Amino acid sequence: DAGVTQSPTHLIKTRGQHVTLRCSPISGHKSVSWYQQVLGQGPQFIFQYYEKEERGRGNFPDRFSARQFPNYSSELNVNALLLGDSALYLCASSYTTGSGNTIYFGEGSWLTVV
């Protein structure tokens, strides 16, 4: 079975531009979360979606938005990119939001803002 898949794997954007990152969860998983990992740090929670509804949001500006589609895939959008948005963006999926669910991560999208 396929794991969590993300695209693109690497991309370079210019300050002020917009970026869309995509994620397909493990088959059967209905919850998708997004994390940002800057170099030398642990991942930081951005969003969680379950059944197409936002269930949680981390401490990120409104330039960050996301959505989940009927097939449970998800997009993370970042507007007006800043140099500080350069990071590895990780998508995670779990079966539900219920207790004890293991959370699986994709390989991430490496975003460089120049």
Report the residue number, 13 or 110, with the smaller CB distance to other proteins: 110
Least distance (Å) between residue 41 CB and other proteins? 6
What does the alpha-carbon distance between residue 88 and residue 85 come to, in Å, rounded to a whole number? 9
Q: Min. distance of Cβ 91 from other proteins in angstroms?
A: 10
46 close to 36: Cβ distance less than 8 angstroms: yes
| Cβ within 8 Å of residue 36, ≥6 positions away | 43, 44, 46, 60, 87, 88, 89, 90
**Smallest gap from residue 16 Cβ to other proteins (A):** 26
Our CB check for other proteins shows the closer of 13 and 55 to be 55
Site of interaction with other proteins (CB under 8 A):
31, 33, 35, 40-45, 48, 50, 55-56, 58, 88, 90, 92, 94, 97-108, 110
Per-residue tokens: 100: 């004890």
